[in-house]
Amino acid sequence: MTRSWLIRAAIVVAVWSALATFPEWSAAWESSRFAAGIIRQILIFAIFASSLNLLVGFAGLPSLGHAAFFGGGAYAAAIAAQRFGTDELVVSLGAAVVVAALLALVLGFLAVRAVGIFFLMLTLALAQMVFAIAFQATELTGGSNGFSGVHRPVVFGIDFNAANDLYLLVCAVALLVGLVLWRIATSSYGRALVGVRENERRMRALGYDTRTLKLSAFVLAGALAGVAGALSAYEFRFVSPNDVALGTSVAGFVMVLIGGAGTLVGPILGAAVVLSIERVLPSQLPAQMVLGIVFIAFVVFARQGLVGAVRRAVRA
Amino acid sequence: MIDIRELRRDFGGIRALAGVDLHVPAGERRAVIGPNGAGKTTLFNVVTGELRATAGSMRLGDAVLGPLTTWQRARLGLVRMYQRNELFDPLSAVDNVLLSIGSIAGAYRPLRSPRRAERAEAATVLERVGLADRRAVAARALSHGERRQLELALALARRPVALLLDEPTAGMSPAETERIATLIAGLDRSLTVLIVEHDMDVVFRLADRITVLHEGRVIAEGTPAEIRGDRQVHDVYLGKAIEA
């Protein structure tokens, strides 16, 4: 346990505690409920962006199909709860993780054979196929109408139906996912993913089966995106083909790049920036255009994202 | 240990390796020399599996290498040092070496940091190649000579059974060359070493035997003394190499 480790842990505990208790200490504020809703959504998309970051930032795999696992998880959670007639979190969240991971296994098996731009196009095409299925399997998914009336989960009999309770659940899951990613990033496995990103040829020459390594990252990232998808289904009580669509994949990618690929905090900040622009900005302003301008600014002036810009500022 | 028969590799109409035979017993240090374009690096690329052989057979001990991928061959202990550095540029020297050591235990330890023993081993390897005080420096910030040292450290950290060194002293200062040559000379005698090198002082100092390649064929093989006295070798290569 070094000092910098303790400082980081203390920051995480402080920020998380402040976030988790936000509805209480902000109760007097008239927009408290609205703000809590935004924070929930930021956290959900932070999980999604962080899972994509495992591919884009760590393993160097630029996937444009990550929504397939987000939406796949969302549908799985909604459908499992309905079919099994239970609101137990274990059932719906478990279904989301399993379905997203299996989907990632199949799509990843094909995608990791390609590199660079071909990987990007292949993930895009495969995710479009998932989108087509979601759109057309009306019986199962509700087709273009979406799947409405998703129940909020129950954990061992405790109901998370109230917005404040859902808030706590989202905070807890986000913390858990964050800790898992933190551990992965500092592990031999995380280091190996960075090795694949930096020099795959050398990794093979050292005896790493890089194709399986990339596939494992793809499945892990898919499973975590499935978690985000399930939370999104609880949050909006609604799943639609939009959740599987290219737009959602791109949104995740933009969050990762704005925040800073390959860092743990970056995707969280990226999710906060993107959702703030989309949901908080006055409605007279064209949110998508503002987002576009912000994104271009980052690509041109701060390739390393927010985290990279802050690091540079601290060093200078 | 290394047993290569009738190895061929064609690039379109060009025959880069035209039936190479090479038998290197365990523990031998064998130098492969020859003019540029003789097929030395191609030989390494085919033996490590980065290029497929057009024909011929290769064995490492009892293992038939032909059907194996590069990473499977590396897992057998066939480890190479590259002629052009293949490092993990943004990572520190010690993290580069840890990646190499970590490959022995495998990558699937998602929730585990490199163990203390691995860190200690990385420190030892960096010490051996002379990079102990550069351990925290990113690979891309090292000098050319230091990058060669790190390249060698990566190969050694993989605990090779057979070590393929592709021009280990290329572009190094005399002091750096001396350090690397001494290091290679001091490697465990159980290790089989195949070394491609243009510095003839280094070759004659390190090699137990020398194989001379020319236009994808072995034109001579023998002890350093025999090769020095070989008329044909002198004509195609050594004359020029020694004058230069």
B72 and B167 assigned to the same domain:
yes
Q: Do B105 and A188 touch (CB under 8 A)?
A: yes
DSSP string, B41-91: HHHHHHHHTSS--SEEEEEETTEE-TT--HHHHHHTTEEEE-SS----TTS
Whether residues B10 and B47 share a domain: the answer is yes
CA distances from B211 to A224, B17, B26 (A): 55, 14, 16
pLDDT at B16 over 70: yes
Optimal mutation site among B46, B108, B166, interface A, most CBs of chain A within 10 A: B108
Residue found under tokens 């585990």:
B112
CA B233, CA B152: separation in Å to the nearest integer?
Answer: 29
User: How crowded is residue B127: how many other Cβ atoms within 10 Å of its Cβ?
Assistant: 13
Domain end point (choices B132, B159, B186): B159
Do residue A191 and residue B89 have CB atoms under 8 angstroms apart? no
Residue B83 lies in a domain: no
Chain A residues whose beta carbon lies within 8 Å of the beta carbon of residue B105: 188
**What pLDDT does A55 receive?**
96
DSSP letter at B188?
A: -
User: What element of type H or E holds A200?
Assistant: helix A188-205
Supply A90's token pair.
């274990």
pTM above 0.80, yes or no: yes
Please indicate whether residue B85 or residue B126 has the higher confidence score (pLDDT): B126
Q: Stretch B108-131: mean pLDDT, rounded?
A: 84
Q: Of B114, B137, B159, which residue is a domain's last?
A: B159
Q: Are residues B126 and B65 in the same domain?
A: no
- Count other Cβ atoms within 10 Å, centred on residue A225: 37
Q: Is the domain of B168 the same as that of B238?
A: yes
Q: Are A215 and A109 in contact (CB under 8 A)?
A: yes
How many separate domains does chain A show?
Answer: 1
Q: What is the pLDDT of residue B116?
A: 83
Q: Assess whether B199 and B155 both reside in one domain.
A: no
Query: What's the mean per-residue pLDDT of chain B?
Result: 90
**In this complex, is the C-beta atom of B99 within 8 Å of any C-beta atom belonging to chain A?**
yes
Domain identity same for B12 and B129: no
Query: CA nearest B93: which of B143, B20, B30?
Result: B143
**Co-location of B151 and B117 in the same domain:** yes
Low-confidence ranges of chain A (pLDDT < 70): 1
- CB-facing half-sphere around the CA of A259: CA atoms within 13 A: 30
pLDDT at residue B240, as a whole number: 64
Q: Taking a C-beta distance cutoff of 8 angstroms, is the pair B214, B34 a contact?
A: yes
For residue B193, the surrounding DSSP H or E stretch is strand B192-196
What is the pLDDT at residue B244?
47
Q: Is there a contact between A188 and B95 (Cβ–Cβ < 8 Å)?
A: no
In a domain, A43, yes or no: yes
In a domain, A312, yes or no: no
**B74: nearest CB among A183, A206, A213:** A206
Confirm or reject contact between B112 and chain A (CB < 8 A).
yes
Question: Is the domain of B69 the same as that of B97?
Answer: no
Total domains in the fold of chain B: 2
Looking at the fold, whether B104 and B115 belong to one and the same domain comes out as: yes
Dihedral angle at the C-alpha atoms of A276, A282, A288, A294, nearest 10 degrees? Answer: -60
Instruction: Give the domain-ending residue among B102, B133, B159.
Output: B159
- If asked whether residues B36 and B144 sit together in one domain, one would say no
Count CB-CB contacts under 10 A for residue A108. 27
- For chain A, what percent of residues have pLDDT higher than 90? 75
Q: Is residue A65 part of a domain?
A: yes
Closest-CA distance, B237 to chain A, in angstroms, reads 31
Quick: pLDDT tens for A74-116: 999 999 998 888 888 999 999 999 999 999 999 999 999 998 8
Between these two residues, A163 and B189, which has the higher pLDDT value? B189
Structure confidence at residue B59 as a pLDDT band (50, 70, 90): very high
C-alpha B99/C-alpha A148 separation (Å) is 48
Residue A89 lies in a domain: yes
Domain that holds residue A143: 31-245
Domain that holds residue B165: 2-77+160-243
Report pLDDT for A158: 76
| Residues on chain B touching A2 (C-beta within 8 angstroms) | none
Q: Do B168 and B51 lie in a common domain?
A: yes
Give the span between the Cα atoms of A273 and A259, in whole angstroms. Answer: 8
The CATH number of whichever domain residue B166 belongs to comes to: 3.40.50.300
Residue B243 pLDDT grade (very low, low, confident, very high; cuts 50, 70, 90)? low
Residue at B144 is within a domain: yes
pLDDT score recorded for residue B114: 67
At B233, list the tokens.
């070798």
- Predicted confidence at residue B234, as pLDDT, reads 83
Could you report the per-residue pLDDT of B18-52, keeping only the tens digit for each? 999 999 999 999 999 998 888 999 999 999 999 99
Tokens representing A146 are: 């979406």
A239 in a structural domain: yes
Shared domain check, B70 and B173: yes
